[in-house]
Amino acid sequence: MPEVLTSRYLFGPGPSNCYPEVTAALAYPVIGHLDPLFIERLDRTCEGLREVWGTRNSRTLPLSATGSGGMEAAFVNTVSDGDVAVIAVNGLFGERMCEIARRCGATVLRVDHEWGQPVDAERVLAAHPHPKVIAAVHAETSTGVLSDVEPLGAGKGDALLIVDAVTSIGGLELLADDWGIDVGYACTQKCLGVPPGLSPFTVSDRAFERRIKDPRSWYLDIGLLGGYVGAATGSRTYHHTAPVAMIAGLEAGLDRILSEGLDVVQARHQAAGSELRDGLEAMGLELFAAEGSRLPSLTTVKVPDGVDSAAVRAYLLQNFSIEIGAGAGAFASSVWRIGMMGPNANRASVQLVLGALQEAIAKA
Amino acid sequence: MPEVLTSRYLFGPGPSNCYPEVTAALAYPVIGHLDPLFIERLDRTCEGLREVWGTRNSRTLPLSATGSGGMEAAFVNTVSDGDVAVIAVNGLFGERMCEIARRCGATVLRVDHEWGQPVDAERVLAAHPHPKVIAAVHAETSTGVLSDVEPLGAGKGDALLIVDAVTSIGGLELLADDWGIDVGYACTQKCLGVPPGLSPFTVSDRAFERRIKDPRSWYLDIGLLGGYVGAATGSRTYHHTAPVAMIAGLEAGLDRILSEGLDVVQARHQAAGSELRDGLEAMGLELFAAEGSRLPSLTTVKVPDGVDSAAVRAYLLQNFSIEIGAGAGAFASSVWRIGMMGPNANRASVQLVLGALQEAIAKA
């Protein structure tokens, strides 16, 4: 038996709560993946994705996998045995990139950074004279750090630039074309306000030309996927059955964001993040991410000495139905991650989490 | 702007319409993938999947991908460079297995059958003395053919048996343990009455022991996935963010089926399929799949001479909002595929599609 319905305030690193338009769309009648009405929906979805990616790439589409599947698609389509991949690592998701690139057969050159610090483009660009790909995370979900990827695009030379935009897409400025991003992947469950399950994906013509022509993965082969979704050719070939309900939800989320105005939504995320940081510091807490590189969508804050991180999170869940995140990796019990993403990026959410957190620290 | 809501009768090869409980569950409030309430939901979902798979495998879980992703997971975890894969091909999905196994590096021995015929276990078992895997499709979605996979399990020797249960799970008898299935994958959008986007997946302990230990895919690595879902160990390790809304839908679909009774649901599929076949033959139409091997869930019927297959399908869509499927591969315009799956497996759907089809053939 399904349990009694429980609502949560999802103020962790994701999933966030959904926009109400998304919830409604998920319960639309299902339409077949080859139905003309669905094809129109898919086209509108791909067009909306171009807007939030800041791209005109024809191959911009929702992959039928989560963000981690998008990460795998980025590498399996660009690197194979012996290709050199320079990967900036300043958190868990940079590390995951290295592991996935290794499994694709790439020779991985990782450029390590202290967690909490942004990517140092100069060091990354100096790591190898002519790598096949350079990869970095725009918004590190594990540390709450925003990195400037534009210098990587400017200095990449012949390399393809792969960027993880999981925690920026739909809430922060993201200009894939202007910044020289060749392959971008993201997820739906953070600033887009859609449940997890799809990966917004974009590939430049340049990257498509230089793709691995017979990649190890059939499911994520962009050469085949391009024939069905995000087609540049005008004709469509069945590849796999699209996750139609999730795509209806994504379409509704994109429509909501673009109707509100992408700049307005971004400003809402900036304001919520700023007010949250101020409030946490006013409580005497210390922020984790380096100053000047703090994500508005996801704030990391140090757990005060003597406070039981897990007990505070449990108190918030039990007393307020609020979820915040533990830290990642070595910081699991010494950092909290607080997301203000999608519909949660507003002043009410900030007040709610600040008040509840203060009580939880005092009483947990 | 989203279009005006349109309901379809989804009588094609899938997706089918959803059970009403599923539609409601998709619009539940989203809960985080690490929330104790979600973990309970995931456990219930995995347990429900064991029921419809007919297995006690601890590693039975919903993969975060569609059925085709499940197919890829089956091979990427079991075969690598030079491993021999014997694959029965009696339709499109057997062919796809060959392509995916090839990309995994396997030496593929395909055992071809005429489309419309069931798998000949003797020929398949005779193809190689000691393959790493033997693979076959239980219910071929492309041809409407049901194959008996039990003799493959009985005769497999040291090989691992991989079975595609995409169009049988939840609607037809499926006894993974009794039949000796080592790795099974399926989809959600057919007899389970859930939208596409997840792949019910099961792995025997024997297959898990013999898995590829460092597979090319990180996303589909059953060694890593087992740590988060379907854990045999009792502890859980974060791998990727689970598609929580789709899993809520799947849980509701499984709960609906098991509450109705798996045997009752299977009988409903049998009765609908039988009545549909009788009705089509009474209209003077000829069935495509070999007699004795016809799927109850998906009926294939030959397009009469002189009738425009696509025009009939368009007529059904425009006049009745009914979707039926074209044929697959070489039979695209000479066969129709009519599914009576999930909530559509009932006598009313049969009458509706028969009446509408008769009019469409006469008038289109």
Under a CB-based contact definition with an 8 Å cutoff, are residues A192 and A250 in contact? Answer: yes
Task: Calculate the dihedral angle through the C-alpha atoms of B259, B264, B270, B271, rounding to the nearest 10 degrees.
Answer: -110
Can you tell me the distance from the alpha carbon of A207 to that of A193, in angstroms, rounded to the nearest whole number?
Answer: 29
Q: What percent of chain B shows pLDDT beyond 70?
A: 96
Under a CB-based contact definition with an 8 Å cutoff, are residues B128 and B111 in contact? Answer: no
pLDDT at B230: 56
Secondary structure element (H or E) that encloses residue A209, with its range: helix A205-209
Count, residues in chain A: 364
Average pLDDT value over all residues in chain B: 95
Q: Does A70 touch chain B (CB under 8 A)?
A: no
Can you tell me the distance from the alpha carbon of A252 to that of A28, in angstroms, rounded to the nearest whole number?
Answer: 11
The closest alpha carbon to B97, from B166, B10, B36, B180, belongs to B166
pLDDT at B235: 63
Which has the minimum average pLDDT: A144-148, B105-109, B231-235, B297-301? B231-235
Secondary structure element (H or E) that encloses residue B133, with its range: strand B133-137
Under a CB-based contact definition with an 8 Å cutoff, are residues B339 and B190 in contact? Answer: yes
Which residue in the set A40, A196, A241 is minimally distant from B3, CB to CB? A40
Beta bridge partners of B60: B202
| Cα nearest neighbour of B250 on chain A | A2
Q: Does A14 touch chain B (CB under 8 A)?
A: yes
**pLDDT reading at A153 higher than 90:** yes
Q: What is the mean pLDDT of the segment spanning B25-53?
A: 95
Contact A103 B69 (CB under 8 A): no
Residue A240 CB contacts under 8 Å (≥ 6 apart), including other chains = A64, A219, A228, B66, B67, B68, B69
Q: Give pLDDT tens digits for A315-328.
A: 999 999 999 999 99
Under a CB-based contact definition with an 8 Å cutoff, are residues A109 and A87 in contact? Answer: yes
Q: Does A17 touch chain B (CB under 8 A)?
A: yes
Secondary structure element (H or E) that encloses residue B10, with its range: strand B9-10
**pLDDT reading at A207 higher than 90:** yes
Q: Does A178 touch chain B (CB under 8 A)?
A: no
A contacts of B217 (beta carbons < 8 Å): 72, 76, 103, 216-217
Chain centroid to CA A305: 31
Which has the minimum average pLDDT: A121-130, A236-245, B168-177? A236-245
> How sure is the predictor about A1, in pLDDT bands with cuts at 50, 70 and 90?
very low
What domains are there in chain A, each with its CATH number? 9-15+261-363 (3.90.1150.10), 20-259 (3.40.640.10)
> How sure is the predictor about A226, in pLDDT bands with cuts at 50, 70 and 90?
confident
A contacts of B31 (beta carbons < 8 Å): 6, 8, 10
Contact B245 A246 (CB under 8 A): yes
DSSP strand pairing (B84-89 vs B107-112): parallel
Secondary structure element (H or E) that encloses residue B255, with its range: helix B244-260
Phi, psi of B16 (to 5 degrees): -90, 175
Contact A15 B33 (CB under 8 A): yes
pLDDT at A109: 98
Under a CB-based contact definition with an 8 Å cutoff, are residues B170 and B193 in contact? Answer: yes
Task: Calculate the dihedral angle through the C-alpha atoms of A167, A168, A172, A178, rounding to the nearest 10 degrees.
Answer: 170
Can you tell me the distance from the alpha carbon of B302 to that of B338, in angstroms, rounded to the nearest whole number?
Answer: 11
Size of interface A-B (CB pairs under 8 A): 203
A contacts of B18 (beta carbons < 8 Å): 30
Q: Does B236 touch chain A (CB under 8 A)?
A: no
**pLDDT reading at B1 higher than 50:** no
Return residues 25-44 of B near A (CB < 8 Å): 25-33, 35-37, 40-41
Residue from A216, A250, A254 whose CB has the most chain B CBs within 10 Å, to mutate:
A216
Annotated binding site of A for substrate: 337
pLDDT at A338: 98
Which residue in the set A17, A104, A197 is minimally distant from B246, CB to CB? A197
DSSP strand pairing (B59-63 vs B9-10): unpaired
- Between helix A262-282 and helix A347-363 the angle, nearest 10°, is 30
Secondary structure element (H or E) that encloses residue B63, with its range: strand B59-63
Under a CB-based contact definition with an 8 Å cutoff, are residues A99 and A71 in contact? Answer: no
A contacts of B43 (beta carbons < 8 Å): none
Q: Give pLDDT tens digits for A214-225.
A: 999 999 999 999
**pLDDT reading at B329 higher than 50:** yes
B contacts of A22 (beta carbons < 8 Å): none
Annotated binding site of B for substrate: 337
Under a CB-based contact definition with an 8 Å cutoff, are residues A106 and A132 in contact? Answer: yes
Can you tell me the distance from the alpha carbon of B108 to that of B87, in angstroms, rounded to the nearest whole number?
Answer: 7
Q: What's the token pair of residue A105?
A: 């057969």
Q: Does B317 touch chain A (CB under 8 A)?
A: yes
Q: What's the token pair of residue A191?
A: 């600033």
Q: Does A80 touch chain B (CB under 8 A)?
A: no
**pLDDT reading at A85 higher than 70:** yes
Which residue in the set A2, A33, A248 is minimally distant from B251, CB to CB? A2
Q: What percent of chain A shows pLDDT beyond 70?
A: 96
Average pLDDT value over all residues in chain A: 95
Shortest distance between the Cα of B101 and any Cα of chain A, in A, equals 10
pLDDT at B347: 96
pLDDT at B121: 98
pLDDT at B117: 98
| Cα nearest neighbour of A98 on chain B | B218
A contacts of B237 (beta carbons < 8 Å): none
Q: Give pLDDT tens digits for A7-35.
A: 999 999 999 999 999 999 999 999 999 99
The closest alpha carbon to A246, from B247, B179, B183, B138, belongs to B247
pLDDT at A2: 42
pLDDT at B245: 97
pLDDT at A229: 67
| Cα nearest neighbour of B15 on chain A | A32
**Residue B191 burial by Cβ neighbours in a 10 Å radius (0-12, 13-18, 19+):** buried
**pLDDT reading at A227 higher than 80:** no
3 state SS of A250? helix
What is the number of other CB atoms lying within 10 angstroms of the CB of residue B218? 23
Q: What is the mean pLDDT of the segment spanning B51-58?
A: 97
